[in-house]
A and B are shown apart, each in its own frame.
Chain A
Amino acid sequence: MSVERPPLEPLRPAFRLRFLSDEQLDQLQGATLDILERVGVKFPSEVALRILEEHGAQVDRATQVVKMSPDLVMRALSTVPRYFTMAARDPAYDLQLEDGVTYFTTDGCGVETIDFDSREPRPSRKSDVGEMARITDYLSSVAYYWPMVSAQDHGRTAPLHEMDASWNNTVKHVQSETIMGGPDARFAVEMATVLAGSREELRRRPNFSLVVCTIAPLVQDHAGIEGSLVLAEAGVPVGFLAMPTLGTTAPATLAGALAMGDAEIISATVLLQLAYPGCPVFHSLMQAWADPRTGTYVSYALDSRMRYAPVEMAHHWGMPSMGACYGTDALLPGTWQSGVEPALDPFWAGLTSPEIVTGMGLLRTYTLLYPESVILDDDIYHRARYALMNMDVNAETLALDVIANVGPGGHFLAEQHTRRFMRDAMKRAVTHQLDASGGYRDPLQVARDKVAWIRENHHPEPLDAAVQAELARILAAADRELA
């Protein structure tokens, strides 16, 4: 038996802010076009070079650097769909991307897990992917799932095993960030087709999508690009994620890093649109800093302004955006640093309104899974969700009659209005859970207990036995062929 899964609660902000002016957006876009035309991007893939060359890009075979005229870029970008569907095993959880709604996911690809039972750190494995899929399947803040850690017990075919574990444990959309290369991508499409029922149905309601990282500065990943072409052909949404680091792989100025990362994303998007016009593609850019004192990778500088500038840049290109929330550098959950760094993320993201957002639940700069972290990040999410709501000001909520009844110096406790509204007036966050003596519990312990409760009580509908068997068969074939 399983408890009922709460409905999704995406951000639907009542407020919107424009952080970049039209002029700034044009400046940034102009810089991207300038970089693509005059500096170029390296595509170490014969297939990609051929497609780009056929469509008029200037290809240097020796360096594999491709330069694109502004005209070519704009022509290719004109076919990118502004919105599309990210479908789920259960159609009730299909995400129809649209203006004014933001769907969040978990972080992914961690390498170490604090064991659910022994609480000892160990390398991550396939069962962790499944456990976290099941836990986040229950959370109203998690609209779709990134396999949170790497299935390191499956070596070469880990990315496909991560998909298998995810689909078996959540009814929500799954987004991989590890499937790389044409052969792997073809196995993934085969698995997804089994789940969808047919190639046509997969194209209509893609039950998974992929994030491909670019390599700063201005290089595409061979396997990433070739995998993305396979998925684009099948109609599976693909996003390109640039992660420029100010000071090492990117200029030490924010605008420079943004323009350069954007050029990486846009060049890959151009490729996909030239190859498969109209295929669903999304845009994502997460800047980081190299700490000049130590060289360490820093996700949150004290001045992290414009963390959500890429959202507006994506929209300026006419593409959906995946915003980058969370990703603390803290080593432990429930600590000051793990609270302070992401504290503003969902609120800022909501104000800029990306269509999708990653990534709740990992520590140590996307590498370490404490299962309870996702619950604390969920709490920060809901705080932002409430802060972004319109206040309901009407006769009933203003309660002037009740105020008149109580009068100066009186008390509202005994009023019927109080009994009626008190439940709504206070939802208990992890910070306001009571212990037996009426004190507030440690939020970290509350989060741990919630993970344990979900593990015990929430069991999403299993995949059809025939589908499970078919997925297992494909995995066995992949293990044989790819390993």
Chain B
Amino acid sequence: MSDPTPALQPIRSAYRLQMLDDQQLRDFRAGTLEILEDIGVRCPSDRALSLYAAHGARVDVERQIVRLPPDLVLSAMARAPRTYTMGARSTAHDLLLDGNALYAATDGCGIETVDFATRGRRASTRQDVADMARVADALPSVAFYWPIVSAQDHPATAPLHELAASYGGTVKHVQTETVMGERMARYAVEMAKVIAGDEATLRTRPPLSSLICCIAPLAQDREGMEAALVFAEAGVPVGFMSMANAGSTGPATVPGTIVAGDAEIVAALVLIQLAYPGAPVFHSLMTGVMDPRTGAHLATTWEGEAAYAAGVELAHAWGVPTLAGIFGTDATVPGWEAAAASAVALTICALCGAETGSGMGLLDACTVLFPEQLVLDADIYQRVRNNLARLDTSRAALALDVIRDVGPGGSFLFQAHTRDEMRRRTFSDLTNRREPEGGLRDPIEVAREKVARILAEHHPEPLEDAKQAELERILAAAEREMGAAATPQAIPSSTGAHR
């Protein structure tokens, strides 16, 4: 028995805000062009270097530094599409990135899971990816899924197992941020093709997209760039993310870190457009601020959060969609900090017109999965979504007749209008829940129960048997090809890990 996946509830903001004025945007773009022309970006991939060189970039082969003339950058970026679709297993859950809606994803690539049953901390597994895909599938707030943790029980081919587990658990779009290297990317594309059904659908409604991290300052990852080229060739949307950290891998000023990060991203986007003009790409600036005492990358400092909105506006200034930094708290456990620090960044990014955003459900700098955190973050998401909607001031909503009937000192409780309209007001299903003896329940506990209920009851439309078998066949082939070289990884420890 399967259970329908609820319709998505993207944020369709009735309001728009421009955080950076036109001159500030021009200053940032000019800075990026200057960095790309004068300083350049390190790209340790022969394939990428020769592509850059073939299209007129200045390449220092020995130092693997690419310098890009402004004309080349601008003409390449002009080919990138501003609008495209990220497909899903179910067409009803396709995401049209056209600037009218913000679609949110989970966070991804966590390494520890607080066990669903024992509540103890342990290394994350493929099963966690599958279980959380099902939880994400049941939440209308989650529009697409990042495999939320690493399938560490499949060390050699974890990223591919994460994809298989994701497609098994949700009908929604899946975005990988762990598939690296040409070989693995080819397997991932093959899997996406199985899900899409054919090559043409893979291009028009790609059920997979990929996010590649740059290496601040101003360097690209060889495996990442080579995977990106494979994805772009197949029509799978590919995005680049900078996580430059003010004070360590970026200048100690937020604008300096933004411009350096933007340059990393744009250099990679240019490569993709040179190699595959018109390939769907996106821009993702998720800078942090270094704690000067510990060196940690902090995502939610007071001063650093404006960078997320700046990232959205820079993406649009370059003419591409964005993946915005939302949620992604520095808190280590569910509670006040994760709640107090999340809503503002999401709101600003939505006001600035972000198309997508990721970061729901992990804690401790995106490393630890508390399953209930996804439900808690979804509650915050709904508060923001409603806040951004317009007020109904129609005659019916003004209710003047009802006010007249009730009059000074009366009660609205027994009015038909009240009975009808109260049903339409929406309340959190986590707060103000009563204990049987009358006290208020802890919303975190209510969220845990909601996860358990979803896992027990929600079974989305399964993948067809033939497709499932095909995915397993691809996984087995990948395992044969790549597994031999790999030895099981040590499980990372629980503290001090930052992506």
Give me the interface of A with B, judged by CB distance under 8 Å. Answer: 15, 17, 19-20, 24, 27-28, 31, 34-35, 38-42, 63, 65, 215, 217-219, 246-256, 259-260, 289-294, 296, 298, 300-307, 309, 329-331, 333-344, 347-348, 351, 376, 379-380, 382-387, 389, 391-394, 396-400, 402-404, 406-413, 415, 417-427, 429, 431-432, 434, 438, 440, 443-444
Contact = CB atoms under 8 A, between A and B. Distances in A.
A109 to B, nearest CB: 21
A348 B386 CA distance: 13
Interface of B: 15, 17, 19-20, 24, 27-28, 31, 34-35, 38-42, 65, 215, 217-219, 246-256, 259-260, 289-294, 298, 300-306, 310, 330-332, 334-345, 347-348, 351, 376, 379-380, 382-384, 386-394, 396-400, 402-404, 406-413, 415, 417-418, 420-428, 430-432, 434, 440, 442-444
A247 B412 CA distance: 6
A397 B219 contact: no
Given A340-B343, A383-B340, A409-B42, 14 more contacts: A15-B17, A41-B408, A247-B413, A292-B423, A302-B428, A303-B389, A334-B336, A336-B334, A336-B338, A383-B344, A386-B306, A394-B27, A407-B39, A431-B300
B427 A19 contact: no
Contacts of A250: 412
Given A380-B340, A400-B259, A412-B249, A426 B306 contact: no
Contacts of A248: 411-413
Contacts of B303: 386, 424-427
A252 B335 contact: no
A69 B476 CA distance: 81
Contacts of A412: 217, 247-252
A31 B24 contact: no
Contacts of B24: 391, 393
Contacts of B409: 42, 215, 217-219
Report, nearest first, the 6 A-B pairs whose CB atoms are least far apart: A256-B399, A339-B339, A399-B256, A252-B421, A339-B340, A408-B42
Contact of B294 (A343, A386, A402, A438): A438
B256 A398 contact: yes
Given A15-B19, A376-B336, A412-B251, A218 B35 contact: no
Contact of B403 (A260, A300, A407, A417): A260
Nearest to B244: A412
Contacts of A389: 306
Nearest to B21: A390
Contact of A253 (B259, B392, B404): B392
Contacts of A289: 425, 427
Contacts of B289: 425-426
Contacts, number: 381
A38 B404 contact: yes
Given A217-B410, A340-B343, A397-B254, A305 B431 contact: no
B408 A302 contact: no
A210 to B, nearest CB: 23
B426 A303 contact: yes
Given A42-B409, A252-B421, A255-B394, A426 B291 contact: yes
A393 to B, nearest CB: 5
Nearest to A289: B425
Given A248-B411, A302-B386, A413-B248, A431 B337 contact: yes
A361 to B, nearest CB: 14
Contact of A309 (B386, B391, B396): B391
A352 to B, nearest CB: 11
A385 B305 CA distance: 11
Contacts of B15: 17, 19
Given A35-B403, A38-B404, A422-B252, A386 B425 contact: no
B104 to A, nearest CB: 16
10 contacts: A300-B431, A305-B386, A337-B339, A339-B336, A387-B305, A387-B348, A403-B35, A403-B256, A409-B215, A412-B252
B426 A331 contact: no
Contacts of B397: 253-256
Contacts of B217: 403, 406-412
Contact of B392 (A17, A255, A292): A255
Contact of A398 (B31, B306, B387, B428): B31
A406 B249 CA distance: 9
A253 B256 contact: no
B427 to A, nearest CB: 5
B22 to A, nearest CB: 12
A253 B302 CA distance: 36
Given A343-B340, A403-B251, A422-B252, A256 B403 contact: yes
B248 to A, nearest CB: 6
A421 B252 CA distance: 6
B427 A302 contact: yes
A338 B413 CA distance: 29
B426 A301 contact: yes
B339 A336 contact: yes
Contacts of A293: 427
B417 A252 contact: yes
A424 B376 CA distance: 32
Given A39-B403, A339-B339, A412-B251, A251 B387 contact: no
Contacts of B301: 426-427, 429, 432
Most chain B CB within a 10 A radius of its CB, from A253, A298, A424? A253
B408 A39 contact: yes
A292 B426 CA distance: 10
A66 B483 CA distance: 84
A320 to B, nearest CB: 22
A255 B398 contact: yes
Contacts of B341: 339, 343, 383, 431
Contacts of A409: 42, 215, 217-219
